[in-house]
């Protein structure tokens, strides 16, 4: 009986392997190329912050909690709305007291696949990124990280949740706050887009227009920068950014029309003239949902953005048919957003943490 069972398992395994091999042989040359771009089903994570459901659940509460801001009006979700596009779909985001920032909020979806964070790459990880807005006077406005820790520590339920997620002395710390938020953000990935299904062998998952658009993206050179599983550049070690100059070709009307040269980009971080107008290459995943476009949010539509990129980065004029095909391809990068349930936030009894 055992011998017969083992033989059956071997036959099933052979058939499964043959089926996978057959599908691989059936892939078109473009699908073979696309396989390198398919989004993994799980985001990478550092050894210093391994996944646990306890951390993820805690991070979700913190992500939605506006009490992490000075006046209790702004949460992480205010600028990175996970119930929609992972961004706020505004040219620039609003912080406490209605203050407007200087750059458009990138989507949080699939940020876990980026090697650096922010448009200028100033944060080397999701953990480091999570700390920045908390004390930025234009964003969440807390005076320092100590004030953030004190506020979280003043909520009894949070103390219990941190003790469970981070066993050991002083579980409520700025590092653990950032780790919890980053753990939650690593669950915000959007696999199973039409493109991903097509790249894995489903010939009917993408429209013919989208297939032409992917081919055109490769032909004109878009994927020389927008490569990798996030369409944001090659896979690099955490903390090593992939940056490109924007705009590269300046002798066109788009540069002045959309004010593309007013932001010095990474030079604001490094102080180096060679970094002027250098930006982290943004992800193209879900880009059809994240208008307006570019670091300043001044380009209103995806069709406009396609034309701007072709001219300013490749010095190419695309015709309407080419733009439409690339538009269709970019739409095919819209993936399945993980189902979100608003967490019940920890409450205080008989007092407020955010007096005027």
b/e code 127-165 from CB counts within 10 Å (16+ = b): bbbbbebbbeebbbbbeebeebbebbeebeebeebbeeb
Closest by CA to 154, choosing from 72, 257, 256, is: 72
Please check whether residue 207 is in contact with residue 334, taking contact to mean a CB–CB distance below 8 angstroms.
Answer: no
Distance of alpha carbon 118 from alpha carbon 104, whole angstroms: 10
Q: Name residues whose C-beta falls within 8 Å of residue 4's C-beta, 6 or more positions apart in sequence.
A: none
For the question of residue 45 being annotated catalytic, the response is: no
Please report where in the chains the tokens 């407007």 appear, as a residue: 100
Please report where in the chains the tokens 């943004």 appear, as a residue: 282
Please check whether residue 67 is in contact with residue 61, taking contact to mean a CB–CB distance below 8 angstroms.
Answer: no
Distance of alpha carbon 119 from alpha carbon 277, whole angstroms: 11
* Chain-centre distance for alpha carbon 86: 8
Distance of alpha carbon 166 from alpha carbon 185, whole angstroms: 18
Distance of alpha carbon 148 from alpha carbon 138, whole angstroms: 16
Of 45, 128, 139, 238, which one is the catalytic site residue? 139
Please check whether residue 230 is in contact with residue 36, taking contact to mean a CB–CB distance below 8 angstroms.
Answer: no
Number of Cβ within 10 Å of residue 272's Cβ equals 10
Q: Name residues whose C-beta falls within 8 Å of residue 88's C-beta, 6 or more positions apart in sequence.
A: 78, 79, 80, 81, 105
Please check whether residue 136 is in contact with residue 312, taking contact to mean a CB–CB distance below 8 angstroms.
Answer: no
Element (H, E) at 21: helix 2-26
Distance of alpha carbon 93 from alpha carbon 95, whole angstroms: 7
Which residues are tagged catalytic?
139
């Amino acid at each position: 009986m055992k011998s017969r069972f083992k033989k059956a398992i071997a036959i099933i395994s052979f058939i499964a392997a043959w089926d996978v091999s057959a599908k691989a042989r059936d892939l078109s040359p473009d699908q073979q190329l696309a396989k390198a771009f398919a989004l993994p089903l799980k985001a990478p994570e550092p050894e210093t912050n391994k996944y646990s459901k306890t951390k993820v659940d805690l991070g979700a509460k913190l992500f939605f909690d506006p009490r992490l801001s000075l006046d209790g009006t702004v949460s992480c979700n205010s600028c990175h709305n996970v119930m929609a596009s992972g961004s706020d779909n505004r040219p620039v985001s609003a912080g406490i007291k209605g203050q407007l920032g200087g750059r458009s909020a990138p989507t949080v979806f699939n940020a876990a696949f980026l090697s650096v964070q922010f448009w200028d790459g100033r944060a080397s990880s999701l953990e480091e990124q999570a700390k920045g807005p908390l004390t930025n006077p234009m964003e969440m406005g807390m005076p320092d990280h100590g004030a953030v820790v004190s506020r979280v520590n003043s909520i009894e339920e949070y103390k219990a949740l941190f003790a469970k997620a981070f066993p050991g002395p002083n579980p409520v710390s700025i590092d653990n706050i950032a780790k919890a938020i980053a753990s939650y953000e690593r669950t915000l990935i959007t696999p199973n887009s039409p493109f991903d299904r097509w790249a894995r062998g489903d010939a009917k998952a993408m429209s013919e227009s989208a297939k032409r658009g992917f081919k055109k993206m490769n032909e004109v050179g878009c994927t020389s920068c927008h490569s990798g599983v996030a369409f944001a550049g090659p896979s690099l070690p955490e903390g090593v950014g992939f940056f490109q100059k924007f705009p590269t070709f300046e002798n066109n009307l788009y540069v002045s029309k959309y004010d593309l040269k007013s932001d010095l980009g990474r030079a604001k971080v490094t102080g180096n003239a060679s970094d002027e107008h250098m930006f982290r290459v943004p992800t193209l995943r879900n880009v059809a949902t994240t208008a307006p476009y570019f670091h300043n949010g001044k380009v209103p539509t995806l069709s406009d953005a396609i034309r701007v990129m072709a001219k300013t980065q490749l010095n190419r004029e695309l015709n309407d048919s080419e733009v439409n095909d690339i538009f269709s391809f970019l739409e095919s990068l819209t993936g399945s957003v993980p189902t979100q349930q608003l967490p019940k936030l920890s409450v205080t009894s008989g007092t407020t943490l955010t007096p005027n």
